[in-house]
Amino acid sequence: MTEPTDDILTRPLGVSEAKAPEQPSGPLGRVLAAARRPKVAAGAIAAGLILSLGLVVALGDPHGGEPHAEALITIREPVARPIAAAPAAEPPVATMSPGPSQLQRSAEEIESASGVTVVRPLGSAPTDAVVIRVPPPSAPRLAPAPDRRISEAGRHGLMPKLGEGQVRALDVYARAEEPGTGPRIAIVITGLGVGQAATAGATARLPATVSLAFLPYGNEVERAVARARDAGHEVFLQLPMEPFDYPDSDPGPQSLLTALKGPENADRLAWALARFPGYVGIVNYMGSKLMADAAFEPVLREIGSRGLGFLDDGTGPKPAAAPANKTRTPIARAELVLDATPRADAIDAALAQAEARAKANGFALVSASGAALTVDRIARWARDLESHGVRLVPASVALRGARDKRVSTAD
């Protein structure tokens, strides 16, 4: 008898029919028997796959039902930590260089707070070479300028005046003569205020006892004068006046001329007097013709009435007759022009001649230009001044004697 196909397929291999396990009976048995059939099992598996795919499409779960979690990540800025202060011995190094205005302001703050004088050519950057002079504690300080007691408003600006009790700018703004004995030499350097390098060099390199004279020209002349006074130099105002070879030699704008009427020269004088404050007197700039002319008398009178002195720098010929000086304006004339011959050996020889005159007469007044060579020779000479047996004094010493006579030995 032939066996049914299903029984042959569902019987375990190697087990005879007599030993085959009994099939469960009843409804459950029939179901299990049907599930064992290959076609039925394959259909069930396919149905399961279709059902799973349908759930993925319907629910939109790409993970196929696997466990998963979602976390929201927020990007935050890092919290800045406070920077600890650097030790005093190791100050932090700036990563950016300060600008020129900051450096200049710092130099000026140090200068005004400590008395240190920083000198650089006007208009130069703070990174340029400078000369720094630290004055000793005993160094004399000049009186502040302008002083209200001896100042008044004029048509061109603030001008000096004779104060109550005959207080003079010649006395208030002068540098005090330091105590000492022996022959004295006074030097006045002229032509400053228009050449920035020359002005800065004379201010920084020359001893503070050397007096400096400034022309009324230049955009920065007031500042240059203030720096010179801060460094201890007493200052003069140079007055442009007509020379004999005018107009071939032209002193410049606002010059006083013999051909002008009195009020015109007076106005030009007022313009010059208002250029900057703090000067002790007037020094001529050229002016050989005017000083020998009657037109100079009212000019000299106005200078004296404002508490100033007048110093002739000696570059022009000495007038045959002294100008009228009815108001007894203090007047002095330089005996030597140190750089009349602008060579190093000639300047050294003139300085030796000044020493000889000072030793012979007790005092000598000399002048020189602010040329770099001249400043260099005077600075070298002044280093060993004590060994020469003479001492330097301000040029105002030549003017602050008796008012009724000339006080320079050159007269």
Domain CATH number, residue 161: 3.20.20.370
**What pLDDT digit, counting tens, does each position of 335-386 carry?**
999 999 999 999 999 999 999 999 999 999 999 999 999 999 999 999 998 8
Would residue 280 count as lying in a domain? yes
Mean pLDDT score, 294-311? 96
Top pLDDT among 8 and 313 is at 313
pLDDT score for 140: 76
Q: What percent of the chain shows pLDDT beyond 90? A: 57
Q: Is the peptide bond before 82 cis (omega within 30 degrees of 0)?
A: no
pLDDT tens by residue, 142-156? 999 999 999 999 999
pLDDT bucket at 55, cuts 50 / 70 / 90: low
DSSP string, 42-98: HHHHHHHHHHHHHHHHHHT-TTTT-----------PPPPPPPPPPPTTSPPPPSSPP
CB-based contact 217:120 (threshold 8 Å): no
Please list, in sequence order, all residues whose beta carbon lies within 8 angstroms of the beta carbon of residue 176, skipping any fewer than 6 positions away: 140
Tens digits of residue pLDDT in 288-300: 999 999 999 999 9
This prediction has a pTM of 0.68
CA 356/CA 367 separation, integer angstroms: 16
Q: Is the pLDDT of residue 207 over 90?
A: yes
Domain span at 323: 155-399
Does residue 261 belong to any structural domain of this protein?
yes
Query: pLDDT at position 127, please?
Result: 43
Asked if the structure places residue 19 within a domain, the reply is no
Q: Is the pLDDT of residue 272 over 80?
A: yes
The structural domain count of the chain equals 1
Q: Looking at the domain assignment, is residue 227 inside a domain?
A: yes
Left, alpha or beta for 372 (phi > 0: left; psi -120 to 50: alpha)? Answer: alpha
Q: Is the pLDDT of residue 84 over 90?
A: no
Look up residue 32 and give its two tokens: 């299990």
Q: What is the mean pLDDT of the chain?
A: 80
In a domain, 87, yes or no: no
Please tell me whether residue 26 adopts helix, strand or coil conformation: helix
Task: Tell whether the model's pLDDT for residue 162 goes beyond 50.
Answer: yes
Q: Is residue 95 part of a domain?
A: no
Q: In this structure, are residues 373 and 383 in contact, taking their beta carbons and an 8 Å threshold? A: no
Model confidence at 111: pLDDT above 80 = no
pLDDT for res 5: 52
Q: Is residue 111 part of a domain?
A: no
- At 28 the pLDDT is 55
**Is 292 within the bounds of a domain?**
yes
